[in-house]
């Protein structure tokens, strides 16, 4: 028996669960500031990302801020990885392409990539960026075109810009009009959310 306060609340939960995208995820690599982590999780929830991964080899796992995330973290599934290799192997096994955000000679513009594929977006540390190991194991690197003197955005802003481009492409392709997860998985998600 599902617990919920109102029929309207159940409708919102059901609608949100049906919009969740199984084929889009974000990987946080050693992002130091918990406010940045929470802000990215909030953006993930906003565009329908259900699962995120945390790879923390140099930093401690962050405490998630309920203020910054507006409690979005309770609606998102978080998986912790012990190493970059473990993360990449798991993602590739699931059929994800791994795209890392960074400036390098081979990087593609954010707007040149197909974000309707099964994609994992890797966002790196605020100061060090993506590790060399992740750079070697990812399938592509990408950058966000900039028109100003500063060549980078705050990591949480960069994640939001990327996620909203993914949402734009997926909306045009009708991917929010059909379930990404199986009907059984959506029902389980609704049941879990009704208990929150």
Per-residue pLDDT of the chain (196 residues; tens, 9 = 90+): 555 567 888 899 999 999 999 999 999 999 999 899 999 999 999 999 999 999 999 878 777 655 544 466 789 999 999 999 999 999 999 999 999 999 888 899 999 999 999 999 999 999 899 999 999 999 999 999 999 998 889 999 999 999 999 999 999 999 999 999 999 999 999 888 887 7
Q: What is the structure's pLDDT at 196?
A: 75
Q: What is the structure's pLDDT at 105?
A: 84
Rounded Cα–Cα distance for residues 145 and 148 (Å): 10
Question: What are the b/e assignments for 24-58, b being 16+ CB within 10 Å?
Answer: bbbbbbbbbbbbbbbbbbbbbbebbbbbbbbbbee
Q: What is the structure's pLDDT at 2?
A: 56
Rounded Cα–Cα distance for residues 185 and 180 (Å): 10
Helix (H, G, I), strand (E, B) or coil at 89: helix
DSSP single-letter state for residue 140: E
CB distance 68 to 35 below 8 Å: yes
Rounded Cα–Cα distance for residues 145 and 131 (Å): 21
Helix (H, G, I), strand (E, B) or coil at 32: coil
Q: What is the structure's pLDDT at 65?
A: 57
**Sign of the torsion formed by the C-alpha atoms of 78, 83, 88 and 89:** negative
Domains and CATH numbers, the chain: 31-123+130-187 (3.40.1280.10)
Q: What is the structure's pLDDT at 73?
A: 73
The reported pTM is 0.91
Q: What is the structure's pLDDT at 5?
A: 61
CB distance 50 to 189 below 8 Å: yes
Q: What is the structure's pLDDT at 18?
A: 94
Q: Which residues pair with 81 in a beta bridge?
A: 55
């Amino acid at each position: 028996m599902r617990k919920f306060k109102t029929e309207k609340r159940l409708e919102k939960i059901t609608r949100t669960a049906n919009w969740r995208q199984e084929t889009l995820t974000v990987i946080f690599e050693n992002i130091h500031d918990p406010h940045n982590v929470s802000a990215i999780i909030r953006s993930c929830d906003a565009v329908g990302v259900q699962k995120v991964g945390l790879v923390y080899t140099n930093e401690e796992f962050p405490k998630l801020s309920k203020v910054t995330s507006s409690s979005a973290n309770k609606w998102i599934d978080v998986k912790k990885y012990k190493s970059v290799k473990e993360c990449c192997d798991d993602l590739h096994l699931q059929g994800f392409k791994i795209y890392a955000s960074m400036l390098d000679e081979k990087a593609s513009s954010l707007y040149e990539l197909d974000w309707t594929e099964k994609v994992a977006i890797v966002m790196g540390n605020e100061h060090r960026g993506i590790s060399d190991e992740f750079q070697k194991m990812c399938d592509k690197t990408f950058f966000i075109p900039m028109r100003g003197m500063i060549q980078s955005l705050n990591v949480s802003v960069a994640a939001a810009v990327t996620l909203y481009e993914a949402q734009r492409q997926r909306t045009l392709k009708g991917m929010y009009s059909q379930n990404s997860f199986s009907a059984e998985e959506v029902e389980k998600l609704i049941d879990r959310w009704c208990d929150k």
